[in-house]
Amino acid sequence: MRNIRFFLGLIILASMGLVALMAWRTLAPPEGRDVPARVQATSADLKLDRVRYTETREGKKEWELEAATAQYFKEENSVILDKVKATFFGKNGEIYILRGEKGKFNTRTKAVEVFDGIELDCSDGYHLRTKSLKYQAEKRELSTSDPVEMNGPQIRVEGIGLIVELDRQRLKVLRQVTTTLSQLAVGKFLRSAM
């Protein structure tokens, strides 16, 4: 079912590309005139504005990808994205919203990489910032090797490298970890330890 949806999506995208090509040929200036640089075609097989893609498994929505613009490169199995928003749905209803300026989506592996100004907001009140983040569909995992900074209810964590296991609801900061607890959290910890 998922493959059928994917192929139907590709057919729709290809049809839209054909319509765009026909419109471009119709509206192109006569031969001998220069085409403005902003209109010249690049090597992308297809360009789209305001894109939304949803991935489901066994009838459940796993993640959703939105972008202001998308450029599809068929030979590389990739889509280059601008102004990216990706929403990931956890097993128990958790929601993770990832935002970034640039991104890349691999149409074969379903891996999503997002770069520049990354922010990840979690439905349980945590907020994370880093330089890049990658989603691997087969593992249902977000990861980075860049420095990370996470703020949440009564806690702040900084370090280098991160793995978020969506189905297990587990987050690991990999090295050089610094944790700062609020006074309220420290007080609760001390009371429970006594």
DSSP 90-104: -TTS-EEEEEEEEEE
pLDDT of 22 over the 70 cut: no
> What pLDDT score was predicted for residue 69?
94
Q: How far apart are CA 93 and CA 100, in angstroms?
A: 23
The type of residue at 129 is R
Distance of alpha carbon 180 from the chain centroid? 28
Question: Other CB atoms closer than 10 Å to residue 81's CB: what's the count?
Answer: 27
Give the residue extent of every domain in the chain: 2-18+43-193
The answer to pTM > 0.85 is no
How are beta strands 155-165 and 46-57 bridged, if at all? Answer: unpaired
pLDDT of 66 over the 70 cut: yes
- Digit-coded pLDDT (tens) for 175-184: 999 999 876 6
* Domain 2-18+43-193 fold: lipopolysaccharide transport protein A fold (2.60.450)
Q: What is the DSSP string of 161-173?
A: EEEEETTTTEEEE
Mean pLDDT of 98-114: 93
> What pLDDT score was predicted for residue 185?
54
- Digit-coded pLDDT (tens) for 136-164: 988 989 999 999 999 998 899 999 999 99
Minimal CA–CA distance to 68: which of 43, 100, 25?
Answer: 100
